[in-house]
Structures are given as C-alpha cells and as structure tokens.
C-alpha cells in the first residue's frame, strides 16, 4: 500500500534527470506524452522530469515533462466470513477476518471463530507465521475465536485490542437461550506479552490509527437488547465499550475497518472525521444490520443515504452481521459503491 502512486508505463527512462514530486490539479492524465482531461477527475500526483539536449557541445533550454500517476487502492482479502466462497476452497463460518497489507507487511483485522483461519490464510497465499500484527475489533468469539491458533502458529505476532475487552464476559439471547459468546479470557495470561491493550485513539504504526469507544458517540445507535455483558456479576445490555475500529490513511486515501459497528457505523465514520480530519474513502466490515431486527430495512436506508451524502461518497464493502435484507437495500441505494463480502473474496477499496 505504500506504493500508492506509480508512474504509468508511458513514462520515459531518463538518466541524469532532476526529479521531484508535486501535487497537481485533479482530472489530468497522460496520453502519448500529451495531456487530456480525464472523464472522471480524481486526485493524482505528478513526477516532473527536467532534462536538456547537449548536442553540439551546448545545452539547450531544459524541457520539462510531467508524467501523471494513477492512484492505487488498497486490497482487502476476506479470510473468514459467513457467506461461502464461490469456488468452495475457503471454509466459511459465522465470523469475520480481513487480511490487508501495511508498510509491506500482512495484518489481520479480526480472526474469525476458529482455527479455520489458518487454512484460509494459506489458501489465500499468506503463511500464518508471516503475519505481522492482529487487531481485534471486540471481545466476541466470532471475531476472536481464531486468536489462539494464530498465536501458536506465529510465536512473534502480537494482538491489539481494547483494554475494556480484558476479562469481559459477553452473552447472546438471539437464539432464545442465553449463550456465552466471550473471547477466551485466559489467553492474555497464557500468552504473556502478546496482547497489547488499547486505551484510546492512537497510531499503531504511521498512518494506522485505532478508534476506541471513547471517540465514538452512541448517538444514532439502537442498543441490541439481545447482546449482553456482565459487570459485577450483573448482566446488562452491552454498550460495547470494548469495541475498536481501524483507520488506514495513506497519501490522500482513507480506509475505515469496522468489525460489527455495534456502536453504529455512522458514529464510527463521524469519529474517523473528528479524530483524523478526514472522511473515509472506503468502509469495510459489518454494519450490524441482522435480518431478525424489525428496523433493519429502515436503518439500511438511513445508512445508505448518510454515506451517499458524504463528500467522499465512500465505497462500502460489507458482510458478516449485515443481513440479506439490509444488503439488498444497500445495494439498491448505493449501486456500484457497495459490494457484499464472501469468504476468500479479494477487493480493491
């Protein structure tokens, strides 16, 4: 993702040039050494070459040639997802794990529900032992269930998660009976030094920033009474103080990763703008719009309208807890600016 701006193949190879990078107006493209207005103007950068003709022992007035670079997007690979892969090579399950590259190193955002994440990574072409870092969005086992297998497969990898996730117990009433959906709370003690508690917004690496519940308001968010947490021996609706999101900012492009957006995707997008000063160009993750909720279609309509009215009109790559009814509404309203995840899918965002 570092190499966001790459010279097109029409660029000349010139020895002894003096070069610089300069920002240029949007919408310019290079065609056979000339310029034209692009049909869909997008921000771009230019490489400027200065060189002259030394024929006859004289150096003529230097010519300046500008080559414009196209903006390259970030690739996200869906390692674990509810919806099966079209070719059947990946093992699907109720969970989420997204693979991306940062500074030339592979990172995983969430780990799915089980050790299936190991095989899925290998099928995707990434050895689990090569992972550089893992970020957990919240303390539910369908996002953190693959952590132990990854820690065993990779003795160096570390895991970032909210400090509010440590020791937290979580429960679900969605099936009509109480189920414990907590991540394994013994892992930090059994793997000392491998878990990094996140207390507030800050950078994990240059350009990679975490958003915690402290930065994400609970406005425009309907609590899910079927999801509970335990505090002091008492169970209550979960306010998801243990939820974090990830902002990836490189050049002039910003990508927002959200696990389930339990605190409301709109609130998380607003926090991205507040903390970084930038609206996201793309959003990837679940929208917490399950099929069983009565307000799903209305909330999907509101989300589509909100995203469509943002200055960046971000692309939405969603799945997991975004149900089929919500996905249909989002697709109808957002068209090509929305895509539904499937296990094993790769997408430029």
pLDDT at 52: 40
Q: Which residues of 275-292 are buried (b: 16+ CB within 10 A; e: fewer)?
A: bbebbbbbbbbbbbbbee
Least confident of 62-76, 201-215, 240-254: 62-76
Q: At what angle do helices 324-334 and 296-309 cross, to 10 degrees?
A: 30
User: Is the Cβ–Cβ distance between 37 and 93 less than 8 Å?
Assistant: no
pLDDT at 4: 32
pLDDT at 19: 33
- Please give the Cα distance from 232 to 234 (Å, whole number): 5
Domain ranges of the chain: 5-71, 75-348
- Please give the Cα distance from 55 to 36 (Å, whole number): 31
Phi and psi (nearest 5°) for 295? Answer: -90, 10
pLDDT at 199: 92
Phi and psi (nearest 5°) for 40? Answer: -125, 90
Q: What number does CATH give the domain 75-348? A: 3.60.15.10
| Geometric angle at alpha carbon 281, from 46 and 340, rounded to 5° | 130
Confidence band for 220, pLDDT divided at 50, 70 and 90 = low
Cα 223 to chain center, whole Å?
24
Phi and psi (nearest 5°) for 244? Answer: -130, 155
Which residues, listed in sequence order, are joined to residue 285 by a DSSP beta bridge? 258, 318
What's 105's DSSP letter? E
More confident residue, 25 or 203: 203
DSSP assignment of 278-316, as one string? ---SEEEE---B-TT-TTHHHHHHHHHHHHHHSTT--EE
Confidence band for 36, pLDDT divided at 50, 70 and 90 = very low
Structure tokens at 64: 């300046």
In angstroms, what CA-CA distances link 20 with 6, 53, 70, 253, 268? 14, 20, 16, 21, 37
pLDDT at 71: 47
* Residues 132-154 pLDDT 10s: 999 999 999 999 999 999 999 99
pLDDT at 221: 61
Structure tokens at 197: 């508690």
Nearest residue to 344 (alpha-carbon basis) of 111, 125, 101, 134: 125
Q: Of all helices (H) and strands (E), which one includes residue 270?
A: helix 265-276
pLDDT at 12: 31
pLDDT at 203: 94
pLDDT at 33: 33
DSSP assignment of 162-213, as one string? EGGGTT-EEEE-TTSS-EE-B--TTHHHHSTTSEEEE-SSEEEETTEEEEET
User: Is the Cβ–Cβ distance between 179 and 113 less than 8 Å?
Assistant: no
User: Is the Cβ–Cβ distance between 137 and 245 less than 8 Å?
Assistant: yes
pLDDT greater than 90 at residue 44: no
Least confident of 1-10, 225-234, 242-251, 318-327: 1-10
What is the CB neighbour count within 10 angstroms for residue 189? Answer: 9
Structure tokens at 110: 């969430």
Structure tokens at 310: 């943002």
pLDDT greater than 80 at residue 42: no
Please provide the average confidence, as pLDDT, over all residues in the chain.
Answer: 82
- Tokens 């679940």: give the residue: 286
């Amino acid at each position: 993702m570092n190499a966001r701006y790459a010279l097109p193949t029409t660029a000349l190879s010139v020895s002894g040039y003096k070069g610089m990078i300069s920002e240029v107006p949007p919408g310019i493209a290079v065609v056979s050494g000339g310029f034209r207005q692009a049909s869909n103007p997008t921000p771009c950068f230019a490489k400027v070459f200065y060189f002259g003709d030394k024929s006859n022992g004289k150096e003529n007035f230097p010519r300046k040639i500008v080559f414009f670079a196209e903006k390259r997007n970030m690739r996200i690979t869906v390692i674990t997802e509810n919806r099966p892969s079209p070719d059947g090579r990946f093992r699907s399950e109720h969970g989420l794990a997204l693979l991306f590259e940062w500074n030339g190193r592979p990172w995983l955002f969430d780990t799915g529900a089980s050790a299936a994440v190991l095989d899925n990574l290998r099928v995707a072409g990434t050895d689990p032992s090569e992972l550089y870092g893992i970020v957990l969005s919240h303390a539910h086992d369908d996002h953190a269930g693959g952590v132990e297998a990854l820690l065993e497969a990779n003795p160096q990898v570390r895991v970032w998660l909210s400090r509010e996730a440590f020791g937290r117990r979580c429960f679900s009433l969605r099936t009509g009976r109480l189920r414990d959906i907590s991540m394994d709370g013994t892992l930090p003690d059994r793997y000392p030094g491998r878990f990094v508690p996140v207390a507030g917004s800050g950078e994990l690496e240059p350009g990679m920033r975490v958003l915690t519940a402290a930065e994400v308001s609970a406005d425009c968010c309907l609590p899910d009474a079927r999801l509970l947490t335990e505090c002091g021996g008492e169970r209550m609706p979960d306010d998801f103080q243990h939820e974090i999101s990830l902002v990836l900012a490189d050049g002039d492009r910003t990508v927002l990763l959200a696990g389930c957006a339990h605190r409301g995707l709109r609130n998380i997008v607003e926090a991205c703008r507040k903390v970084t000063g930038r609206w996201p160009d793309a959003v990837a993750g679940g929208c917490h719009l399950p099929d069983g909720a009565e307000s799903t279609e209305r909330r999907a309509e509101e989300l589509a309208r909100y995203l469509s009215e943002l200055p960046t009109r971000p692309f939405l790559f969603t799945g997991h807890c975004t149900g089929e009814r919500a996905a249909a509404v989002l697709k109808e309203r957002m068209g090509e600016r929305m895509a539904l995840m499937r296990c094993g899918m790769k997408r430029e965002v």
